[in-house]
Every structure is written in structure tokens, then in C-alpha cells.
Amino acid sequence: MEKHEEVLISLRQIIRAIDLHSKKLSKESGLTGPQLLLMRSIRELGQVTIKELSKHTNMSPATATTILDRLERNGHVERVRSQTDKRKVHAHLTEQGADLLRTAPLPLQENFINKFQNLEEWEQSLLLSSVQRIASMMNAESYDVAPVLELGNIADPGKH
């Protein structure tokens, strides 16, 4: 087998792992990866605005808002106007959302991050450089994406 075929097989394995984990997450919790990421960030940050939340998750404010709309419709999150500054709206987990978050599986990227951070610095840099080169070779370096291992468009309201 030629090296380019081995690289393509590895890429397909990564895509498959993301797909299977996304399906498991959806089946077990009814959440998508981006929804889980936003809910975990709300829990971590506490009283948080959409702007702060989008910055923390590396999502555009529009994407975060679209996902929050869905979470709010499902009763997992509520938005409350600030008592001190009426221009600000904060996102909060509902009791139902907090319960769901306690039982939801970890996002796939957390397992990856733990393993990645245990690598030597030089190996982390080598992997980063290699993956960035692959993204460039696939003309994908200009895509604005969040650090979420999820297939599809994370802003698609039909999926989130």
C-alpha cells in the first residue's frame, strides 16, 4: 500500500471515530457535540453572556446563539436578562440541563486532549504541523470551525 493511501485510510478512520461518537452522544443524551460543549461551558463559567460563551468555545456568536436557541427550546438552557445591566443576557443551565449534563458522555475531544497533552512538546508540534499541512492540502485551512469533533455544520439549526 502506498503512503498516500495509508494517510487517506487514517483520515477515514478519524472521520469514522467522530461519526460513531456523535451517534453515541446523540443516542445516550440527545445532544450533539456542540450542544454539549456549550452546556459544559455554561456550567464552567457560571453567569455568562453569549459573547463570552462564543469566545470561550471558539464559536461565532451567531453559531452559539443558534445552538442556544435549540437548547432553550428543549428546556436545557434559559436566558435571563442581567439585573445589573439590562443590555446583557446571561445563559443558565436549567435543572433539567444540569441533570442531563451530569449523565452525558464526555466529548470525544476530551479524550484526545488528555492523550495529546501527555505527549512530549516536540511530538505535539510535529502532529500540529502535520495536521495543518493536511488541512492546507485539502484546501480546508480557511474554514472557520470550533474545536469540536463533530461531523456536519455545527450551526445547522436542524441538527442542534
Structural domain boundaries in the chain:
3-105
Strand blocks (E) in the chain:
48-49, 77-81, 89-93
Q: Give the pLDDT confidence of 79-124 residue by residue, as tens digits.
A: 988 788 888 888 999 999 999 988 887 777 778 888 999 999 999 9
Please give the Cα distance from 157 to 118 (Å, whole number). Answer: 36
Q: What pTM was computed for the model? A: 0.70
Neighbours of 27 (CB within 10 A): 9
CATH fold for domain 3-105: Arc Repressor Mutant, subunit A (1.10.10)
Residue 141: is its pLDDT beyond 80? no
What DSSP assignment string belongs to 87-98? T-EEEEE-HHHH
Angle at CA of residue 111, ends 1 and 68, nearest 5°: 115
Contact 106, 97 (CB under 8 A): no
